[in-house]
Structure 1
Amino acid sequence: MSKDTALDAFCAFFNKLDKTCTGKLYNVYTEDVVFQDPLHRIEGIEALEGYFAALYTHVEECQFTFHHRQRLGDTAFVTWTMTLRHPRLAGGSSYAVQGCSQLIFAPKAANDQGGQAKVRCHRDYFDAGELLYERLPVLGGVIRHLKRRAGT
């Protein structure tokens, strides 16, 4: 744990996130949050709740290991490894994807009674092919072949 309680709370929340607790997103995000990853752009807490609820419907495991955390002012960066298991990806086996999140915290409201600062912008950076496309039965083989030919 770092000395940044808001960033620590965010990381702890994400490791508990599953389909049963998407309604608690308001604990870490503002109502007008903007969430973006290589596959989606979501605006607003209600839309984000729907997105995560759908995303976690069939996920059997999703755990984050957070590595480096750095914050300056209202902006933070966190590197992570996500371990994921989904019955339709990678033959149902667990696999890991590395990424980074940029978080922008909203200023705490003047009438806030000691609560944590909340995230108003969350952008994830990761290889979408590594997360999804390479794990699909037919398409995955094609993408892996192309990556080998390209030397990546």
Structure 2
Amino acid sequence: MNEAALDRIVAFFESFSSRDLPLLGEFYDDDASFKDPFSEVRGLAPIRRIYAHMFEALHEPRFVVTSRMGQGNECWLAWEFRFRFRSWRPETPQVVRGASHLTLGADGRIRVHRDYWDAAEEVYEKLPLIGALMRWLKRQAAA
């Protein structure tokens, strides 16, 4: 793993803001793929739209990388995603914990980005109505 490329990617994600959207091509390959619990897309323009939506829908979103590992052209980043909802309890800080598996090209840009996190626990359980259902389902599964 090119340690300089990993340092660059981590620094980008930890300081990422809406004004950095035009810079995504410096970090993602033009034909990169991205997948998380809500989306699966290929190409720089759809990836840019996902991040643009994040900045529109959430207040003060930011990533904090808590650990990282790299080998060959692959790396794992464990992170906390911190934000506040704009339309529901905007005064309450939220944290989603997850990990990203990244595959880099020879130029150090991201070719494959896959996020792993539990949407049920980290988002749905916090929402009114659906949250009560999700917590009930969780209790039933654990019984």
TM-score, structure 2 length as denominator?
0.88
List runs of 5+ in structure 2 lacking aligned partners. none
TM-score, structure 1 length as denominator?
0.84
8 Å contact 1:62–1:83 — kept in the other structure?
Answer: yes
More helix by share: 2
1:135 aligns to what?
126
Q: CA RMSD in A?
A: 1.8
- 1:51 and 1:87 map into 2 onto residues whose CA distance is 17
Greater shift in the superposed pair: 142-151 or 8-17: 142-151
- 2:114 and 2:13 map into 1 onto residues whose CA distance is 14
8 Å contact 2:54–2:61 — kept in the other structure?
Answer: no
1:96 aligns to what?
95
Q: Please state whether the residue corresponding to 1:24 is helix, strand or coil.
A: helix
Percent of aligned positions with the same letter in both sequences? 30
1:67-82 → structure 2 map (5 Å cutoff): 67-82=66-81
Q: Please state whether the residue corresponding to 2:18 is helix, strand or coil.
A: coil
1:124 aligns to what?
115
- 1:43 and 1:22 map into 2 onto residues whose CA distance is 16
8 Å contact 1:88–1:136 — kept in the other structure?
Answer: no
**1:100 alignment partner AA:** A
Deviating 4+ runs (over 6 angstroms): none
List runs of 5+ in structure 1 lacking aligned partners. 109-116
